[in-house]
Structure 1
């Protein structure tokens, strides 16, 4: 069986993989040929493992395989595949991704961010809104939504609730230790940047905020997830 660990980039997927590894001893492979995150941070920290077989064979296996993807739900994902769908306010995810790619240069950051907002790819990652909607629409009981806010606030119950529904035979280790955000920043403070919600409030320029909301897919996904347009 395959369980997809699915999210748009910079939505907390790496931290979720770390929690799965530390709490449940679950190691995750990736849909891609190379796991750049594991190469950057270390396979043991992330909980990376090589794919043992092609996706189709993993799906047919009696074992449970957790596979990370940032892609939109496409024809590689069967309708019946279980998934953990990790979601974050699109503005925060895009700001974080642009910061990671654009570095400290404000001009490069804004150019990266604009390009990301305007993406229209129908395959691969796609735009934030189309990516989220592809996993959440139509709704399915075996695709479980996990909010970034819940994951970072209290990962044990947030992940435990979903694991109990997906793989009830998996039990968390009672003495497991989950690294703090301070610990992770010591490992790589550019990758683990701020670790909280609403980062768009002081990083997303107003013209790009309007551009984000001009996209119908973004508006639909934000409404679905209950994120308000106002920057409180």
Structure 2
């Protein structure tokens, strides 16, 4: 069985993988050939494992295989595959991704952010709105939404609720403990940068805020998730 751990970049996917490993003792592989996050932070911290087989073989296996992806839902994902769909306010996710992409040269932040907002790719990660909508439309009970806000505030309760829905055969470990964000910052404070809800209010320039809301897919995804409208800020 495959359970996709899906999200747009910088939506909390790494923290979710760490928490899944600590809570359930399960590791995640990735849809990509290389897990850059595991290489940067360490496989043991992230809870990374190499894919044991091809995606189709993992799907047919009786074992539970968690597979991280930042891609839009595509032909590699079967309609009946289970998925944790981790979502975050697109403005916060994009700001965080652009900060990470420009960590070696902060002057590139605005240009990186502009390019990320305006991307139109129909395959791969794509735009924030297109990515989110690909996983949430049409709605399906086996593709469960997990909000970043819930994950940040009450990680154990949020994750256990999702896992009980998707893979009830897995049980939390009795002595499980999820590291705090402060603890994770000590391992790499540029990767685990702020983790704040609403950080875009201080970091998203007005012209790029307008650009974000000029994308129809972003508007549709923000409304679907109840993150408000342009006039709310």
Q: Confirm or deny a common fold (TM above 0.5).
A: yes
Whole-Å separation in 1 of the counterparts to 2:48 and 2:104: 29
What is the correspondence of 1:38-77 to structure 2 with a 5 Å cutoff? 38-77=38-77
Whole-Å separation in 1 of the counterparts to 2:159 and 2:177: 14
Deviation of 1:175 (Å): 1.6
Whole-Å separation in 2 of the counterparts to 1:165 and 1:55: 22
Q: Which secondary structure does the structure 1 equivalent of 2:50 belong to?
A: coil
Whole-Å separation in 2 of the counterparts to 1:215 and 1:92: 16
Query: Is 2:180 the partner of 1:201?
Result: no
Q: Which secondary structure does the structure 2 equivalent of 1:177 belong to?
A: coil
Query: Is 2:118 the partner of 1:124?
Result: no
Asked whether the 8 Å contact 1:150–1:158 carries over to 2, the reply is yes
Whole-Å separation in 1 of the counterparts to 2:161 and 2:169: 13
Task: Mark the runs of 5 or more structure 2 residues left unpaired by the alignment.
Answer: none
Q: Which secondary structure does the structure 1 equivalent of 2:29 belong to?
A: strand
What is the correspondence of 1:78-117 to structure 2 with a 5 Å cutoff? 78-103=78-103, 105-117=105-117
Asked whether the 8 Å contact 1:7–1:69 carries over to 2, the reply is yes
Whole-Å separation in 1 of the counterparts to 2:40 and 2:131: 25
Whole-Å separation in 2 of the counterparts to 1:178 and 1:162: 16
Q: Which secondary structure does the structure 1 equivalent of 2:3 belong to?
A: strand
Q: Which secondary structure does the structure 1 equivalent of 2:145 belong to?
A: strand
* Count of residues paired in the alignment: 232
Deviation of 1:105 (Å): 4.6
Stretch deviating more after TM superposition (29-38 or 175-184):
175-184
Asked whether the 8 Å contact 1:2–1:64 carries over to 2, the reply is yes
Whole-Å separation in 2 of the counterparts to 1:201 and 1:105: 22
Q: Cα deviations across residues 41-95 of structure 1 (Å, max 9, x unaligned)?
A: 0000000000000000000111110000000000000000000000000000000
What is the correspondence of 1:1-232 to structure 2 with a 5 Å cutoff? 1-103=1-103, 105-228=105-228, 229-230=230-231, 232=233
Give 4+ residue runs of structure 1 displaced > 4 Å after superposition: none
Q: Which secondary structure does the structure 2 equivalent of 1:40 belong to?
A: helix
Deviation of 1:174 (Å): 2.3
Deviation of 1:107 (Å): 3.4
Whole-Å separation in 1 of the counterparts to 2:126 and 2:34: 19
